[in-house]
Structure 1
């Protein structure tokens, strides 16, 4: 395993794709800081580091999907995985080493984002307003979230040996998860009452009526569970710092990691590698 990891990290340091991902994350963080600073300067809106601190959760899924599918796809294309098997490395060790590589690469991108927003953000838009204990719990939760993203896309990349196919499937999957999470978020945030305007005797009257799109009862509970379970749903909650179930989200991420990793290893062991 140690030889596999050393080889993986040697390739990672030389990977232009990896460094492009790091740069993209840094640029994204700079843009978020700049947007908040401009709103403060132009419109006088109150701002703080809270509004950008967890911004990396919004894009890390996409970055992981692209990096994993292309980087591991190159290993298939170049025959690296086949050569590792011929040299006597077990398929489990190969799979786990690639998963660890993806996790380290993704966490490094997140670290670069956080370092930039802290160094540049505090002087420009101020520090955090949320309690430190809450921030630390959320940081821990985002680590579990990043690991779950990596486990999902490692599974996809190790199952499909065609680089183009793996990249398309990974991108379609993350886009689908983002759309589903957005749909659930809109449903859960629908107001209970809406304003309805009527005209009586030429006079316009307004009254509040129950919103037919408002979710309640068992349907709302189901939406909340799926919203918390989806990695993209968690991303939205962390990004907006609207997490209600701080300890449930890491548990869901852990379940996703275990299920996808177990499934991926099982299918990779059965795969016929030419």
Structure 2
């Protein structure tokens, strides 16, 4: 396993897609800081560092930025092992399939953490002089960071499984990116459904006068449906991403548990299928 990890890290250092992703995250962090500066100058107010820092896990609670970047890098990195015949060579020299799979998963997890660190370092270097220190408690910030890191590792588990079970790296990349996009928009849609108020104000004309009256919102969800929708958002890595970045996550502990479930199940299923896979 150690030899496999060393080989993967050596190849990662030479991976163009990885360094392009690092550069993108640095550029993304600088853009976030510049937008914050512009907003503060325009509105003559101050913004807390909390929001800028948490944008590393998504953009304003809307776009799962790290998931999209990791989908491209991880699927290409793993897929290249098939196209270059690296996996076949590793099997020939005696490495186990489980070891090969887990070494790729650990490498993909390291990619996600490296991308997050590059963003965090730039935001802290530029954002602290601009916005000051965090306003939330240390416990809250650490909980959000822990959930965010587990979310990135769960992405890595899913992308590793897709890349290891699909020999075509282009197909794997498309599958991973589309999966992030679909789950991201699904989470946003479900979130808007949950946010529907129980009562809505309507304008009615009574005796020739306009009167505002409250009436039940037909789109208001029952408690059972609300719980199901919230579970889906909390469970999906993209749902976790938009909630953490938007600072709207109501169940940090459950989200961490769901990420662990995804990590464990994805690796178990992936290793089981990969062991039976015919390597061409």
Among 157, 163, 174, the alignment partner of 1:151 is 157
Q: Any unmatched runs of 5+ in structure 1?
A: none
Structure 2 distance, partners of 1:63, 1:200, is 56
Among 214, 219, 222, the alignment partner of 1:213 is 219
Deviates more, 1:250-259 or 1:28-37: 28-37
Structure 1 distance, partners of 2:74, 2:85, is 16
Indicate the residue corresponding to 1:21 in structure 2: 21
Indicate the residue corresponding to 1:49 in structure 2: 49
Q: Residues 136-188 of structure 1: CA distance to partner in whole angstroms, max 9, x if unpaired?
A: 11111111111100000000000000111111111111111111111111111
CA shift, 1:45, in A, is 4.1
Indicate the residue corresponding to 2:111 in structure 1: 105
Deviates more, 1:87-96 or 1:172-181: 172-181
Q: Any unmatched runs of 5+ in structure 2?
A: 59-64
Indicate the residue corresponding to 2:206 in structure 1: 200
Distance 1:38 1:178, change over 3 A: same
**Which residues of 2 match residues 111-260 of structure 1 at below 5 A?**
111-260=117-266
Indicate the residue corresponding to 1:64 in structure 2: 70
Structure 2 distance, partners of 1:136, 1:100, is 22
Secondary structure of the 1:41 match is helix
Structure 2 distance, partners of 1:171, 1:137, is 27
TM-score, scaled to structure 2:
0.95
**Which residues of 2 match residues 76-115 of structure 1 at below 5 A?**
76-115=82-121
Q: Residues 212-240 of structure 1: CA distance to partner in whole angstroms, max 9, x if unpaired?
A: 21223211111111111111111111101
